């Protein structure tokens, strides 16, 4: 039996097991947090930045910075470093907590070595003191423009909460609505797709966020028998998460059904909200008599389908970067980057283990990396297989022949359309470098739409 208790303190770590209280994928990309004691620069910047279109949030302490990032997604953070190097430590923590945030460091020391150290720590840019508004505004405008071009992710949340794909956004929208209620939720998805993390996220965004989060896991119970009644009592005022509910023995299913029935006519005796998950077809199991049919209908008041990673290709580069940075933070290393060719291999992989497999792979690459950029040769053998092309295209060759240049032109245009003109993502999808893509776009006289 596995039990977990999550206290809502809004203090996510590098892996981030909670999500922000304001859960909004469409948050403004120009929210800016000013960190540290910037003195006169802080006051002058405030007015200038507001005039430039930023929503400015001052945060003087590390706690205030983290709270500001978790409260609402931010795209740009300005950190004032001191002679003690505390700003660099804060920078590393922010990059691990919210990899999408673009951090600009105002450094006390203007040395080349310090600039390199700041960039290695994950800074988007670096400005030496004494910094004036005229020095900072061009840097911040460039950061804001990049933030507008690049998709944002959820700050302070688990990896399940990172994404921009249509499948992810649909899941988030349903989960947002479910979180505001006490209704039973059934999370459906393959192993490794993030069901447990999403359950925590729903609890964290619910009115029960300050109550306990208790996990009932039949698969991990060991020698101790699972007792749904006692676990429900332990979850009083909070959430009971039943992991892989198909594994529950029928007597325990009956007890869980009674708890849900008791809650229909008012508060349940132990005042608990139930979230269940399953990687199996519970309706099909119910038809075979292997799962309680009445329990299925009460658990699935709000069903939420978690898309497999192979259906979230737009999210994979974001997730990979998040895991590389988080792993580097945990192991005290500098996070490597991934070459375009290596990313193309990641995008072509089927990821049967979903997000969990990607996380383990990125941690392995971080630990074993011998150079700052991961190439194809550094990937595990199963990721270096040739990409299948023709079988997936389902092409029918016309009898009158075909123009190879025409096919290439159409493929490039479709890839650009798929990623709304983003050349980097289109190049990764096609398995070529961005430089090669630009050359072929010029060859075919193509433009990003």
Q: Per-residue pLDDT tens for 283-292?
A: 999 999 999 9
Between the alpha carbon of residue 361 and those of residues 145, 379, 383, the distances in Å are 32, 9, 10
Under CATH, to which class is 390-443 assigned?
A: mainly alpha
Residues 189-202 have pLDDT tens digits of 999 898 988 998 88
Alpha-carbon span 374 to 378, nearest angstrom:
6
> What residue spans in the chain does CATH classification 1.10.10.60 cover?
390-443
Where do the CATH 3.40.50.300 domains begin and end in the chain? 159-305
CATH 3.40.50.2300 for domain 31-149: yes
Whole-number average pLDDT of the chain: 76
pLDDT at 293: 95
Q: Where in the chain is the domain with CATH 3.40.50.2300?
A: 31-149
pTM above 0.85, yes or no: no
Supply the pLDDT for residue 1: 41
What pLDDT is stored for residue 264 in this prediction? 55
Instruction: Please state, in angstroms and rounded to a whole number, the distance separating the CA atoms of residues 88 and 325.
Output: 15
The topology (CATH level 3) of 159-305 is Rossmann fold (3.40.50)
The most confident of the ranges 69-78, 86-95, 262-271, 384-393 is 86-95
Q: Which letter, b or e, does each residue of 194-208 get, where b requires 16 or more Cβ atoms within 10 Å of its Cβ?
A: bbbbbbbbbbbbbeb
pLDDT score, position 184: 95
Closest of 56, 54, 129 to residue 87, by C-alpha: 129
Backbone angles phi, psi at 227, to 5 degrees: -125, 100
Tokens 């794909």 appear where? 165
Q: Which residue has the tokens 């690459």?
A: 365
Average pLDDT of span 405-429: 83
pLDDT at 53 over 90: no
C-alpha span between 241 and 215 (Å, rounded): 5
Rounded to whole angstroms, how far apart are CA atoms 239 and 274? 6
Is the torsion defined by CA of 267, 269, 271, 272 positive or negative?
negative
Domain(s) of CATH 1.10.8.60: residues in the chain:
310-383
Q: What is the DSSP string of 61-119?
A: SHHHHHHHHHHS--SEEEEE--TT-HHHHHHHHHHHH-TT-EEEEEES---HHHHHHHH
Query: CA nearest 133: which of 107, 94, 106?
Result: 106
Q: Say yes or no to pLDDT of 340 above 90.
A: no
In angstroms, the CA 31 to CA 16 distance is 21
Is the N-terminal amide bond of 286 cis, ω within 30° of 0? Answer: no
CB atoms closer than 10 angstroms to residue 287:
12
Q: What is the pLDDT of residues 255-278, one digit of tens each?
A: 999 988 876 544 444 589 999 999
> Quick one: tokens of 445?
């006289």
Is the pLDDT at 240 greater than 90? The verdict is yes
The string of pLDDT tens digits covering residues 118-153 is 766 777 777 766 666 677 778 887 777 766 554 443
Q: Identify the band that residue 301 occupies on the pLDDT scale cut at 50, 70 and 90.
A: very high
DSSP state of 186: E
Question: So what's the pLDDT on residue 353?
Answer: 92
The Cβ-side half-sphere exposure at 407, using a 13 Å CA radius, reads 11
The token pair that represents 368 in the structure block: 């074993």
Per mean pLDDT, which of 226-240, 254-268, 413-427 is the most reliable? Answer: 226-240
Q: Which residue has the higher pLDDT, 27 or 186?
A: 186
Average pLDDT over residues 57-73: 67
Residues in the chain: 449
Per-residue pLDDT at 54 exceeds 70: yes
Q: At the topology level of CATH, where does 310-383 sit?
A: Helicase, Ruva Protein; domain 3 (1.10.8)
Average pLDDT, stretch 45-53? 72
CB pairs under 8 A, 24+ apart, for 332-338? 333/366, 333/367, 333/369, 334/120, 334/372, 335/122, 335/366, 336/365, 336/366, 336/369, 336/371, 336/372, 336/373, 336/374, 337/372, 337/373, 337/374, 338/373, 338/374
C-alpha span between 375 and 308 (Å, rounded): 25
């Amino acid at each position: 039996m596995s039990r977990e208790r999550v206290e809502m303190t809004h203090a996510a770590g590098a892996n981030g097991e909670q999500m922000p209280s304001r859960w909004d994928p469409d948050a403004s990309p120009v929210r800016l947090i000013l960190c540290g004691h910037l003195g006169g620069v802080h006051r002058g910047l405030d007015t200038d930045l507001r005039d430039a279109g930023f929503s400015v949030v001052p945060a003087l302490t590390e706690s205030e910075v983290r709270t500001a990032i978790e409260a609402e997604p931010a795209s740009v953070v300005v950190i004032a470093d001191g002679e003690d190097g505390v700003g660099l430590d804060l920078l590393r923590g922010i990059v691990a907590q919210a990899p999408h945030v673009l951090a600009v460091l105002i450094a006390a020391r203007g040395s080349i070595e310090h600039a390199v150290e700041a960039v290695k720590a994950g800074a988007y840019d670096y400005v030496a003191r004494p910094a004036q508004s005229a020095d900072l505004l061009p840097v911040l405008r460039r950061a804001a423009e990049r933030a507008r071009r690049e998709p944002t992710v959820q700050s302070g949340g688990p990896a399940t909460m990172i994404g921009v794909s249509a499948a992810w956004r649909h899941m988030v929208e349903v989960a947002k609505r479910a979180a505001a209620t006490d209704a039973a939720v059934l999370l459906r998805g393959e192993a490794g797709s993030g069901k447990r993390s999403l359950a925590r996220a729903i609890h964290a965004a619910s009115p029960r966020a300050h109550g306990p989060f208790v996990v009932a896991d039949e698969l991990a119970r060991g020698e101790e028998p699972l007792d749904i009644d006692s676990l429900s009592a332990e979850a009083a005022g909070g959430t009971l998460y039943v992991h892989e509910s198909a594994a529950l023995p029928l007597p325990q299913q009956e007890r869980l059904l009674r708890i849900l029935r008791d809650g229909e006519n008012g508060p349940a005796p132990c005042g608990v909200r139930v979230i269940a998950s399953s990687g199996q077809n519970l309706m099909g199991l119910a038809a075979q008599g292997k799962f309680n049919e009445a329990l299925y209908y009460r658990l699935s008041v709000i069903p939420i389908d978690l898309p497999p990673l192979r259906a979230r290709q737009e999210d994979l580069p974001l997730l990979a970067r998040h895991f590389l940075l988080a792993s580097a933070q945990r192991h005290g290393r500098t996070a490597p980057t991934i070459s375009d060719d290596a990313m193309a291999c990641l995008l072509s992989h089927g990821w049967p283990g979903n997000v969990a497999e990607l996380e383990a792979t990125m941690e392995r690459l971080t630990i074993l990396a011998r150079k700052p950029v991961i190439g194809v040769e550094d990937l595990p053998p199963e990721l270096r297989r040739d990409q299948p092309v023709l079988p997936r295209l389902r092409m029918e060759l016309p009898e009158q022949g075909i123009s190879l240049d025409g096919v290439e032109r159409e493929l490039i245009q479709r890839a650009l359309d798929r990623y709304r003109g983003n050349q980097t993502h289109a190049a990764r999808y096609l398995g070529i470098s961005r430089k090669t893509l630009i050359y072929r776009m010029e060859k075919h006289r193509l433009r990003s739409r």
